[in-house]
Structure 1
Amino acid sequence: MKIGLYFGTFNPIHIGHIIIANHMQQYSDLDEVWMVVTPHNPLKKKSTLLDNHHRLEMVYKALEDYPHLKVSDIEFKLPQPNYTINTLVHIQEKFPSHDFSIIMGEDNLNTFHKWKNYDEILNNHHIYVYPRIDHNEIKEEFVNHSKIHKIDAPIVQISSTFVRNSVKENKNILPLVPKKVWEYIDLMNFYK
């Protein structure tokens, strides 16, 4: 089975994440997309990051109606700080019959050469790239690489930061997140 791993803090998950994940699964050779909820990105302020179990719960709620989209908490069990290469080694050992690929935005591809053991990742895994409006020129070594697949997906300009700020400003975010996620945010009084 071919699995695409879509990493993110999902703080919160929004319709943009689901549109991208669903598109990648439907319009590529991936059988499933696993949304890998990451414990903490060192580049993001921790104070705005909800606890792991709340973000995981929102992703479960968001994906209920999508049988080919799954949620994964695999990185919660790994030592921190964690690197993608460690997750890939761990998940491949846990699911040896699956073929894992990474899903990333074009902006991440521009800095992929800075990832720990990026060459080892490329040797063992495919990368599915979705477009961004504000991308820079892609490094030459990645342009026609046999393991890097650019997928012509819709460009979604919604961010979790925008959703959080909108909640704080008491705006209606219902069009931006699945209804069950909105209900959970409202019930738990998050991002106020």
Structure 2
Amino acid sequence: MKEGLFGGTFNPLHNGHIKVITHVKKAFAIDRIHLIPSAVPPHKPIENLAPARDRLEMIQKTVASIPGLCASDLEIRRTGPSFTIDTVTQFINTTDHDTDPYFILGTDAFFDMDTWKQTCEIFEKTNIIIMTRAGERRKLRDIADFLASQVPCNYDFDRASMTFSHPELKAVHLCNPPEIQISSTAIRHRVKNNQSIDSLVPEPVENIIIKKGLYL
């Protein structure tokens, strides 16, 4: 069974998140994708970060009506910073042995992986899907060079499948989802300035933001 892991602050969850993740799910025939809000992001400032339980509730109520997507409180239940290697390891240890994990992230996060905890072990434990953007400056060579800097043996790239393969590590796949023009930062700014966000976020997210007075 293919299981996707899509982490982030989701501060707040917005329509762009849902659009790209449903594209990835279909493109890779992933059975289920877990949206995992981080409790304590180790690489992001936490100013104006909504409580973790509120961000989790936004996801839970949104994905309840979307087949194949689910919310995970895995990082919220764990104390301390939300390191990816810990999340991946805990997920693998608590799922069936035939589970094939796919960790999903954008290019900005991918190129920051050299600052992450136990980076090489992430490549050992899970397939990776990099969501690239159309017209992105960073080319395939940049990705290949970065991979070579993180693991002892170079990956081989298959252009037909847009996949980097390794004799011992998990595969790294490239995916080009639809471009989105929505950001959580812009949404928080609109909330603070009493501007409408109903076209930018799922209805349950807007309801929770209003009910709990978030981002004011």
TM superposition score normalised by structure 2 = 0.82
Report what 2:111 is aligned to: 110
Whether 1:56 and 2:56 are equivalent positions in the alignment is: yes
Q: Is the 8 A contact 1:103 1:127 kept in 2?
A: yes
Pick from 139, 144, 152: which aligns with 1:140?
144
- Deviation of residue 135 (structure 1)? 5.1
Report what 2:181 is aligned to: 157
Of residues 82-91 and 158-167 in structure 1, the stretch that sits farther from structure 2 once superposed is 82-91
Report what 1:96 is aligned to: 96
Residues 141-173 of structure 1 deviation map (CA, whole Å, 9 limit, x = unaligned) = 448322111112112131111110011111110
- Higher-Rg structure is 2
Distance 1:40 1:82, change over 3 A: closer
- What SS is found at the alignment partner of 2:47? helix
Whether 1:46 and 2:46 are equivalent positions in the alignment is: yes
Give the residue type in structure 1 aligned to 2:193.
Answer: E
Write the distance in 1 (CA, Å) between the matches of 2:137 and 2:184: 19
TM-align CA RMSD: 1.8
Report what 2:213 is aligned to: 189
Q: Is the 8 A contact 1:106 1:135 kept in 2?
A: no
Write the distance in 2 (CA, Å) between the matches of 1:93 and 1:114: 24
Q: Is the 8 A contact 2:4 2:30 kept in 1?
A: yes
Q: Is the 8 A contact 2:39 2:82 kept in 1?
A: no
Q: How many residues align?
A: 192
Matches within 5 A, 1:18-97: 18-97=18-97
- What SS is found at the alignment partner of 1:40? coil
Report what 1:6 is aligned to: 6
Give the residue type in structure 2 aligned to 1:188.
Answer: K
Write the distance in 1 (CA, Å) between the matches of 2:190 and 2:183: 11
Q: Is the 8 A contact 1:110 1:136 kept in 2?
A: no
Provide structure 2 residue ranges, at least 5 long, that are not aligned to the other structure: 148-154, 158-163, 166-170
- Deviation of residue 95 (structure 1)? 0.7
Q: What fraction of aligned residue pairs are identical, expressed as a percent? A: 32
